[in-house]
Amino acid sequence: MPTDAIVLLEQLHCIKLLNTESRTEPYIWPALIRIDDNTIATPELVDLFAPVIGNARVVIKDSMRAGQTASIPSSVGILRARFDDNLMTRRLILVVALLENDETPRSAMEAGFRAFNSELRAAIARPETAPTFQVRDVAPDILLFANLGAVQLNNGFGIDQCRRVVAVAGADALILHFNALQEAVQPEGNTNFAGLLKKVEAVCQAFAAEGVPVIAKEVGWGFSKDDARRLADAGISAIDVAGAGGTSWSQVEMHRAENESDARVAAAFISWGIPTVDAILNVREAAPQLPVIASGGLRDGIDIAKCLALGATMGGMAGPFLKAANKSVEAVIETVDELAREIRIALFAAGCKDIPILQTASVLIEQH
């Protein structure tokens, strides 16, 4: 027997209007979008269950103000959808377009579909893993980035798949990481980086139109000046330098190697890369307009303060948090507190009342 789903919308509550003195005469066009085995990887809108647009063009409330609530008529508030029993994957997305005047609701439905049809690389291939990437519900206010290997743009991933990556995580930005050396020393590595920059540029242009920043990230070998310049020209919004000095992914691959020969090749590159300090300076010189995220070997708040003084916008680290997480949640919270205290004390000791002053002050000693 087919499975029927029914959704009932009862009330519309106006939380906020852009102009506090204004009023609105809203109508809604709700829709249930069906996702099943046949449509989950499809980038286009497939099955849509919605009221006839003419029925939906019923004003919910005349002169509605912020804070008011109105009942939704049954002609537009009841939606039904049906699934066949032989489908393993069954999902329904409810998208409600809030409209005024003669706006077209179809575009709103398509945007809602793109926002949900959203698996990170692993989740696209295995939809059952998608919930493991969804942390926004427990961290609603955190700055959150979705991370995708840039080389995947040469491996069948396009702009729509990148949108899914961002949407499933509820992310504020998309990171494209460049891990060419790691791929080169992996037995299963993908070294097809040819022509990649044009595809990066296409993603940047599409996301810029949607207000979503795209960040370029190294993974432990840093960016050169030429790298930074070309990424900036492609439309990248920020660069995470991830310089040498932290985790060596070639060393990780050395331990993963299936034979001694592969292990020796990977081990030869353990000390390869541009140090974090040099990578920060490279980006600052080649693309001074871009925010710089400093990472790669940062261990404490003093390291973060030094990177900020070099011109970085923020610092990133993993090791200290992983070590703390292996102990307890309380240890992680304590680590965050200690980092903040170390940064504040570094500012105080350098005679800088805040981070912007640290970023512009001559507090570094040049060694000869």
Do 126 and 71 touch, CB atoms closer than 8 A?
Answer: no
CATH number assigned to the domain comprising residue 143: 3.20.20.70
Do 40 and 143 belong together in one domain?
A: no
Answer yes or no: is 349 within a domain. no
Residue-number span of the structural domain to which 209 is assigned: 121-297
Do 107 and 125 belong together in one domain?
A: no
Pick from 30-34, 62-66, 88-92, 223-227 the range whose average pLDDT is largest: 223-227
Check residues 228 and 77 and name the one with the higher pLDDT. Answer: 228
Residue (of 241, 247, 242) closest to 282 by Cα position: 241
Residue (of 47, 45, 42) closest to 161 by Cα position: 42
Do 69 and 183 belong together in one domain?
A: no
Q: What is the pLDDT of residues 144-182, one digit of tens each?
A: 999 999 998 988 788 988 888 888 788 899 999 999 999
Final residue before a domain boundary, out of 280, 297, 314: 297
Do 294 and 274 touch, CB atoms closer than 8 A?
Answer: no
Check residues 66 and 194 and name the one with the higher pLDDT. Answer: 194
Per-residue pLDDT at 188: 77
> Residue 40 above 50 pLDDT?
no
Do 148 and 157 touch, CB atoms closer than 8 A?
Answer: yes
Do 74 and 215 belong together in one domain?
A: no
Answer yes or no: is 360 within a domain. no
Pick from 36-50, 62-76, 116-130, 223-237 the range whose average pLDDT is largest: 223-237
Query: Within 13 Å of residue 45, how many CA atoms lie on the same side as its CB?
Result: 18
Over residues 53-75, mean pLDDT: 74
Final residue before a domain boundary, out of 116, 135, 164: 116
- Write out the H or E segment, with its range, that includes residue 253: helix 249-256
> Residue 217 above 50 pLDDT?
yes
Q: In this predicted structure, which of 46-50, 80-84, 177-181 has the lowest mean pLDDT?
A: 46-50
pTM of the model: 0.66
User: Tokens 């990148």 belong to which residue?
Assistant: 162
> Residue 242 above 80 pLDDT?
yes
Do 158 and 253 belong together in one domain?
A: yes
Answer yes or no: is 191 within a domain. yes
Do 94 and 8 belong together in one domain?
A: yes
In DSSP notation, 190-224 reads ----TTHHHHHHHHHHHHHHTT--EEEE-SSS---
Per-residue pLDDT at 58: 67
Question: Which token pair is 22?
Answer: 């204004």
Do 58 and 111 belong together in one domain?
A: yes
Pairing of strands 47-49, 27-36: antiparallel
Per-residue pLDDT at 15: 76
Question: Which token pair is 322?
Answer: 């992983």
Q: What is the pLDDT of residues 92-148, one digit of tens each?
A: 666 676 665 555 555 555 555 444 443 344 444 455 666 666 777 777 888 899 999
Check residues 186 and 27 and name the one with the higher pLDDT. Answer: 186
Do 19 and 64 belong together in one domain?
A: yes
- Distance, in Å, from the CA atom of 303 to the CA atom of 118, rounded to the nearest integer, reads 36
Kindly give, in sequence order, each residue whose CB lies less than 8 Å from that of residue 101, ignoring residues fewer than 6 positions away: none
Q: In this predicted structure, which of 42-56, 109-123, 233-247 has the lowest mean pLDDT?
A: 109-123
Question: Which token pair is 110?
Answer: 């398509």
Question: Which token pair is 83?
Answer: 């699934």
CB neighbours of residue 354 within 10 Å: 9
Do 152 and 185 belong together in one domain?
A: yes
Do 168 and 39 belong together in one domain?
A: no
Confidence of residue 282 (pLDDT cuts 50, 70, 90): very high
Q: Return mean pLDDT, the chain.
A: 81
Do 100 and 26 touch, CB atoms closer than 8 A?
Answer: yes
Answer yes or no: is 337 within a domain. no
Q: In this predicted structure, which of 4-18, 46-60, 147-161, 221-235 has the lowest mean pLDDT?
A: 46-60
Answer yes or no: is 211 within a domain. yes
Answer yes or no: is 57 within a domain. yes
Identity of the amino acid at 93: I
Confidence of residue 73 (pLDDT cuts 50, 70, 90): confident
Residue 337 backbone phi and psi in degrees, to 5: -65, -45
Give the chain's domain count.
2
Final residue before a domain boundary, out of 82, 116, 150: 116
Do 175 and 84 belong together in one domain?
A: no
Do 112 and 28 touch, CB atoms closer than 8 A?
Answer: no
> Residue 361 above 80 pLDDT?
no
Confidence of residue 368 (pLDDT cuts 50, 70, 90): very low
Answer yes or no: is 338 within a domain. no
> Residue 70 above 90 pLDDT?
no
Answer yes or no: is 368 within a domain. no
Q: Roughly how many angstroms between the first and final C-alpha of the chain, as a whole number?
A: 80
Do 198 and 278 belong together in one domain?
A: yes
- Distance, in Å, from the CA atom of 337 to the CA atom of 4, rounded to the nearest integer, reads 51
Q: In this predicted structure, which of 22-36, 185-199, 215-229 has the lowest mean pLDDT?
A: 22-36
Per-residue pLDDT at 48: 58
Per-residue pLDDT at 264: 95
- Distance, in Å, from the CA atom of 185 to the CA atom of 182, rounded to the nearest integer, reads 5
Do 149 and 121 touch, CB atoms closer than 8 A?
Answer: yes
Q: What is the pLDDT of residues 306-356, one digit of tens each?
A: 999 999 999 999 999 989 998 998 999 999 999 999 999 999 999 999 999
